[in-house]
């Protein structure tokens, strides 16, 4: 059975290969009108239409360049990107994950250095976001595309029905959960099946207020504290308090199901990132947003607002000039304004002011500018994930096992530390 399948596969591959070899690949490079088609690959399948309408603005400025947006499912993106770069079939413009994810691609020698090509990035972008895609020596290989903010989405209609208002403290937050649960509502659109989701949008979303946010992240990177520090344990215990408000069968709920539950108004809250605003608008859900609740009133708010994705140029592109032109545009304040409005919830990491039309997007970005906010990023994305077992992989597993009840909080942190001990803390 396997053998015949393999034979078919080989035949199919041969056919596809011949087609590409016979010139299919070349045709994609320019269309009937003679314009150059730049291929731009992304991990945001949700953004197909919004990206196309935004990039059409670029073609208005440069009629001889068209942008072909090619999105790959986020969980497969890294694999596809690495193999396509290696085999020489990658897109001209590639999306890069922050810190270690993008760094791996640069270290592989696949990216163009941007320092001289796109001057002036230091004047427009925040230092933080530039450092996310730069080496220690200051070599820049990515134009910061957007930053993400993680917090909690809620359904305003459901909240109004029970007279609830946005919580500030953890105690208020739990009280809301309790009230909704007693009323028979599904409190959270949340499950533990997709590991990345529960780490990025749970532990590193609500956790920083308990593990000490940016300060602890820096100390962990500097090896001044270990992951077994009581602060990290406390963060596990706190997010563990939410499990009883998860829907039944939550262990089998993956991220797509979580999104759909919230969009179909089947759940009151969805702990996730600002990047969801686009599909929330599409689904016309009456949604609101609040930042991660702090432990007690007056505490600093450790708020994850981090440079998330950047764009880089594939070194082997056949259209270097056009690709540079496109990235110059992406680095411009005009693009920032377009992006912020075409893809609401994705925030250009610019130093300078730009206007946002979407009221909720504005509310989210303004919430990060409150006086008691201390911005932070994803705990394991910088330095701690450059080798295997990567901090991210370990933490993903630990959070899943903890929320499923297989690990205690103490076991979870010890597991991660044991893995990091094999290379980072060596």
The yes or no reply on residue 240 touching another protein (CB under 8 A) is: no
45 is a contact residue toward another protein (CB under 8 A): no
- Taking alpha carbons only, the member of 195, 192, 207, 200 closest to residue 97 is 200
Determine if 160 is a binding residue for another protein (CB under 8 A): no
From the CB of 374, what's the least distance to another protein, in Å? Answer: 23
Round to whole Å and give the CA distance between 368 and 301.
Answer: 9
Out of 30, 332, 393, 408, name the contact with another protein by CB under 8 A.
393
149 Cα distance to chain centroid: 9
Give the residue with the Cβ less far from another protein, 300 or 389.
Answer: 389
Among residue numbers 339 through 378, which ones bind another protein (CB under 8 A)? Answer: none
Centre a 10 Å sphere on the Cβ of residue 209 and count the other Cβ atoms it contains.
24
* Smaller CB separation from another protein, 8 or 162: 8
Question: What is the DSSP pairing of strand 301-313 with strand 143-155?
Answer: antiparallel
- Per-residue binding letters, 183-222, with another protein (x by CB under 8 A): --------xxxxxx---x----------------------
Residue closer to another protein, measured from CB, 15 or 352:
15
Interface with another protein includes 100 (CB under 8 A)? yes
Site for another protein in 242-281 (CB under 8 A): 247-253, 257, 260-261, 266
CB-nearer residue toward another protein: 33 or 248: 248
Residue listed under structure tokens 């970005």: 365
> Does residue 419 touch another protein according to CB under 8 A?
yes
Q: Confirm or reject binding of residue 78 to another protein (CB under 8 A).
A: yes
Nearest-angstrom CA–CA distance, 239 and 299: 18
**Residue 99 found at the interface with another protein (CB under 8 A):** yes
Instruction: Transcribe 322-374 into DSSP letters.
Output: HHHHHHHHHTSHHHHHHHHHHSTT-B--BSS------HHHHHHHHHTTSTTEE
Cβ proximity to another protein: between 4 and 182 the closer is 4
Q: Which of 201, 368, 400, 417 binds another protein (CB under 8 A)?
A: 400
Burial bucket for residue 59 (CB in 10 Å: 0-12, 13-18, 19+) = middle
What is the C-alpha to C-alpha distance for residues 270 and 198, in angstroms, rounded to an integer?
11
Q: What's the DSSP call for residue 23?
A: I
Which residues, 6 or more positions from 388, have their beta carbon under 8 angstroms from its beta carbon?
none
Q: Which residues bind another protein (CB under 8 A)?
A: 1-2, 10, 74-76, 78-79, 82-83, 86-87, 97, 99-101, 104, 107-108, 191-196, 200, 247-253, 257, 260-261, 266, 380-381, 385-394, 396-397, 400-401, 404, 406, 418-419, 422
């Amino acid at each position: 059975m396997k053998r015949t399948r393999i034979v078919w596969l080989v035949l199919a591959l041969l056919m596809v290969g011949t087609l590409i070899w016979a010139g299919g690949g070349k045709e994609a490079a320019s269309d009937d009108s003679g314009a150059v088609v730049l291929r731009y690959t992304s991990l945001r399948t949700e953004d197909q239409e919004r990206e196309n309408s935004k990039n059409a603005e670029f073609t208005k400025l440069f009629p001889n360049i068209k942008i072909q947006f090619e999105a790959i499912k986020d969980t497969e993106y890294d694999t596809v990107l690495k193999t396509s770069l290696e085999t020489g079939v990658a897109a001209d413009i590639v999306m890069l994950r922050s810190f270690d994810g993008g760094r791996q691609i640069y270290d592989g020698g696949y990216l163009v250095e941007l320092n001289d090509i796109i001057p002036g990035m230091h004047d427009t972008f925040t230092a933080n976001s530039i450092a996310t895609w730069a080496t220690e020596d200051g070599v820049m290989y990515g134009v910061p595309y957007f930053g993400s903010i993680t917090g909690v989405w809620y359904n305003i209609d459901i909240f109004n029905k029970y007279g609830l208002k946005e919580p500030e403290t953890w105690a208020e937050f739990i009280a809301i959960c309790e009230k909704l649960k007693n009323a028979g509502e599904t409190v959270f659109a949340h499950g533990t099946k997709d590991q990345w989701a529960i780490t990025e949008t749970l532990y590193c979303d609500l956790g920083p207020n308990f593990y000490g946010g940016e300060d602890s992240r820096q100390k962990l990177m500097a090896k001044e504290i270990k992951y077994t520090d009581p602060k990290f344990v406390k963060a596990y215990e706190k997010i563990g308090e939410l499990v009883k408000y998860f829907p039944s069968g939550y262990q089998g709920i993956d991220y797509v199901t979580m999104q759909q539950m919230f969009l179909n108004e089947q759940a009151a809250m969805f702990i996730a990132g600002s990047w969801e605003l686009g599909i929330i608008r599409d689904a016309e859900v009456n949604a609101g947003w609040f930042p991660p609740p702090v432990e007690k009133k007056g505490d600093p708010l450790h708020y994850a607002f981090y440079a998330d994705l950047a764009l880089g140029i594939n070194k082997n592109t056949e259209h270097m000039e056009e690709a540079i032109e496109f990235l110059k545009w992406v680095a411009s304040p005009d693009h920032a304004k377009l992006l912020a409005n075409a893809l609401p919830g994705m925030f250009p990491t610019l130093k300078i002011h730009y206007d946002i039309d979407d009221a909720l997007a504005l509310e989210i970005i303004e919430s990060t500018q409150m006086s008691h906010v201390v911005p932070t990023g994803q705990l394991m994305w910088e330095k701690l994930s450059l080798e295997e077992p990567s901090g991210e992989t370990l933490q993903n597993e630990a959070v899943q096992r903890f929320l499923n009840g297989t690990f205690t909080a103490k076991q979870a942190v010890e597991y991660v530390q044991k893995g990091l001990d094999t290379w980072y803390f060596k």
